[in-house]
Structure 1
Amino acid sequence: MQDIIDQFNQGDKEAAISAAVHYINEHPHAVDAYRMLAAMLINMKAYDQADELIVKALGLFHDDPELRYNWGLSAFQQGSFKDALARLLPLTDKSITGSLRADAAYMVALAYQELGDNIRAIAFALTAHDLNPDAIDAAVLTANLLLGQGVNDQVKDLLAPLLKTKDARVLLAYGMAVSAMGEDGSQYLNAAQTADPESYKRARELVHFLTEQEHHDEQ
């Protein structure tokens, strides 16, 4: 199946999907093939086809975690955040092994954030970060949510080990936390803006929105 994945990643996506369908027809009990095709369809935003395939596959491979993750991802990308939570929350259980639990916790955090429940979003973002401390996306999400709550010292401690990545989002969140604590964070803020001006702008807007939302909730 790797040749099909390579074909898809190289841009020949329609042909790769056709090849994946043919592979499933030839190997109807190969769960990896269903996972592969579901991921491809979601990537192509063919959500109806992806959901139909996943529901069928879950009937064959009861509660397969990776299929369920793709099902939740499909719901999230369609804006059905409550459905995404229903599908993804079981994957955050300690019985789920490997990186899948961290990935699910990250998506659950994003879903709660979209629903305006920042407290639960922080809890699951922290879980995702604890499970995979080197994952920048989870660390930055956690940091931005904490910044919105004014919890600056925890952001500083959380991001310090990731400064070596020179990722603009890390530098920005760290710089904002340091500045909010009365220290000079200009070197980090300037480095973030230089490294990725667009990400810098979006991240500042996001933190401003989260802060305003928190102040509104307190009123």
Structure 2
Amino acid sequence: MSEKDGQQAQAAASATVKKLVKAIDANPQDAQLIYQLATVLTEMQDYEQAEELLMKMLGQFHSDLAATDLLTYGLGNVYYQAAAYDQAAQMFAKVQTDQRKLDAYLMLAETYMQQKDYQKAFAFALTVHDQRATDPAVNALLGDILLAMGNFHQAADFYDQALAKQASDGQLNFNRGLVAMALGQDEQPFMAQAKKLDPAYVAQSAQRINDIATLIHKHEPADHDEEQ
């Protein structure tokens, strides 16, 4: 993003904040507006203000479980984006309502993935998959977790399911290409598509192509077992 684009994005975000503050003043009992404001602040990387807003409003909505869950989930997202993963996990684990729980489980999977606790990440992602089996985001995350664990055959399966719904995702194609390399398959179609769709991601992820060789060596016996 150029400096000009960055300035325009910042100006647009600031305008959105002002609009949301005005809307909240007019509708102080609308938890969705508060969540939206916290989300914009988080996108602006103003984590401290987003955290302060949500903590304050959690007290105001303490008797409304749906609102509390929404704001708690939002607070988890603030901590996740700020890389405060222990705090993020604590917030996501507090979500109670069915409406929000699967989203919280998915973010718990993301959080544990960031902490390299792949077993916990896989367990939460698989729980979400039981309810959202065709969701490409869920299948892509399961692919990422299994790739990190060195379970290449299973990773390929989940990536293929995700690609069936979201073929124009550059990151997804790149990761599927990594798995293809690990399995001795032709990675070129996936890598070519990834470069076409998201060249910036491919460039910044080039080291992962080298890293995959380490994973192949480390997990080769496990992969042979899977094939039996």
Q: Report the TM-score, using the length of structure 2 for normalisation.
A: 0.73
Report if aligned partners of 1:140, 1:173 keep a CA contact under 8 Å in 2: no
Partner of 1:86: 90
Q: Does 1:74 align with 2:66?
A: no
Report if aligned partners of 1:72, 1:88 keep a CA contact under 8 Å in 2: yes
Q: What is the CA–CA distance in structure 1 between the aligned matches of 2:184 and 2:19, rounded to whole Å?
A: 58
Partner of 1:25: 25
Query: Aligned-pair distance for 1:31?
Result: 2.0
Report if aligned partners of 1:106, 1:138 keep a CA contact under 8 Å in 2: yes
Change (3 A) 1:148 1:15: closer
Q: What residue ranges of structure 2 are gaps of 5+ in the alignment?
A: 1-8, 219-228
Change (3 A) 1:41 1:193: closer
Q: What is the CA–CA distance in structure 1 between the aligned matches of 2:201 and 2:134, rounded to whole Å?
A: 20
- Identical columns (%): 27
Query: Aligned-pair distance for 1:72?
Result: 0.6
Query: Aligned-pair distance for 1:133?
Result: 4.1
Deviation digits for residues 7-47 of structure 1 (CA, Å, limit 9, x no counterpart): xx995332332332233233322222222222222222222
SS in 1 for 2:186: coil
Query: Aligned-pair distance for 1:195?
Result: 3.0
Change (3 A) 1:179 1:61: same
Partner of 1:180: 182
Deviation digits for residues 173-214 of structure 1 (CA, Å, limit 9, x no counterpart): 3333334333333322333233323323445545738x66x9
Partner of 1:34: 34
SS in 1 for 2:16: helix
**Count of aligned pairs between the two proteins:** 202
Partner of 2:111: 111
Partner of 1:200: 202
Q: What is the CA–CA distance in structure 2 between the aligned matches of 1:169 and 1:15, rounded to whole Å?
A: 31
Name the Cα RMSD after superposition. Answer: 3.1
The amino acid of 2:202's aligned partner reads Y
The amino acid of 1:178's aligned partner reads A
Q: What residue ranges of structure 1 are gaps of 5+ in the alignment?
A: 1-8
